[in-house]
């Protein structure tokens, strides 16, 4: 959303991975991440994200097929570069593809891709995707070298990993880490990359993050799903949206 002065209001992207995780603890049909996604959309969410992990610990292939078909807003499919990317993308034609680092021993995504190190592996994958159909994003840490390397790969955008900032802010606001996030967004935007903030983002973090100029989207999963268990999906999504600025984000100094 853009106001009359041309400033962009960040989008709220809801991750449904945690809904699927709860379902998979019992190998049941409920709760249904697809139903949750559609409820979130109806409440005003601007996008839905699902991570199809190599071990299929939460989101399953059939979830992704349904989400790709039914989501009316923006659908973001997150995959590891070690999967058969071309087969999955050619079959589903997702609007947005997020390539992200993945380890079997992690509870959730912990680190961004080391794009400087993996550029040789990533380049042929990216070139094999028709970006007129599927926009490619890379999930990276707020590290300048990784952002510069990603820009050289001519991807559409970046997902900046805020896990370290989120964990540190539990015990109090960290000005140093916030500056790192702000500067990473500024650099990403300088390269013309659509920039989203992702991972471990909580309700209390949204006001400050959504006011950073250059942030196109904020992705929330665990905290939003946890609150939805108590207050309902629509009420929770509406509450998160109320934390976004109505008009102009703060400029980057």
76-93 pLDDT, tens digit per residue, is 999 999 988 888 998 899
- Mean pLDDT of the 200-221 span: 95
Question: How many structural domains comprise the chain?
Answer: 1
Q: How far apart are CA 162 and CA 55, in angstroms?
A: 24
- Please say if the pLDDT value at position 195 is more than 80: yes
Q: How far apart are CA 64 and CA 46, in angstroms?
A: 18
Confidence category of residue 2, pLDDT binned at 50, 70, 90: very low
Angle at 117 between CA 115 and CA 119, to 5 degrees: 55
Does a structural domain hold residue 246?
no
Confidence category of residue 64, pLDDT binned at 50, 70, 90: very high
The neighbouring-strand residues paired with 99 are 79, 138
- Please say if the pLDDT value at position 253 is more than 50: no
Coil, strand or helix at 65: helix
Does a structural domain hold residue 39?
yes
- Please say if the pLDDT value at position 231 is more than 70: yes
Residue 173: what pLDDT? 58
Q: What is the CATH number of the domain that holds 50?
A: 3.20.20.70
Residue 205 sits in which domain range? 11-241
Residue 176: what pLDDT? 84
Hunting for tokens 């009359």 — which residue is that?
A: 4
Mean pLDDT, the chain, whole residue set: 91
- Mean pLDDT of the 48-66 span: 96
Does a structural domain hold residue 155?
yes
């Amino acid at each position: 959303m853009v106001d009359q002065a041309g400033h962009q209001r960040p989008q709220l992207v809801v991750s449904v991975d945690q809904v699927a995780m709860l379902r998979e603890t019992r190998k049941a049909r409920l709760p249904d991440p697809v139903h949750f996604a559609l409820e979130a959309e109806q409440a005003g969410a601007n996008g839905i994200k699902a991570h199809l992990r190599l071990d299929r610990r939460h989101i399953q292939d059939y979830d992704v097929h349904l989400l790709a078909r039914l989501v009316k807003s923006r659908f973001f499919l997150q995959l590891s570069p070690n999967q058969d990317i071309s087969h999955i993308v050619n079959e589903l034609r997702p609007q947005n593809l997020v390539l992200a680092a993945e380890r079997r021993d992690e509870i959730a995504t912990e680190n961004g891709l080391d794009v400087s190190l993996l550029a040789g592996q990533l380049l042929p994958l990216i070139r094999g995707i028709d970006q007129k159909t599927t926009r490619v994003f890379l999930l990276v840490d707020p590290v300048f070298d990784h952002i510069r390397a990603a820009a050289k790969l001519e991807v559409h955008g970046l997902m900046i990993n805020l896990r370290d900032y989120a964990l540190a802010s539990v015990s109090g606001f960290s000005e140093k880490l916030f500056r790192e996030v702000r500067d990473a967004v500024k650099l990403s935007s300088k390269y013309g990359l659509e920039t989203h903030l992702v991972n471990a983002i909580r309700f209390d973090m949204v006001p400050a993050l959504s006011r950073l100029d250059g942030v196109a989207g904020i992705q929330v999963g665990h905290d939003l799903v946890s609150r939805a268990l108590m207050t309902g999906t629509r009420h929770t999504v509406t509450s998160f949206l109320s934390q976004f600025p109505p008009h102009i984000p703060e400029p980057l100094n």
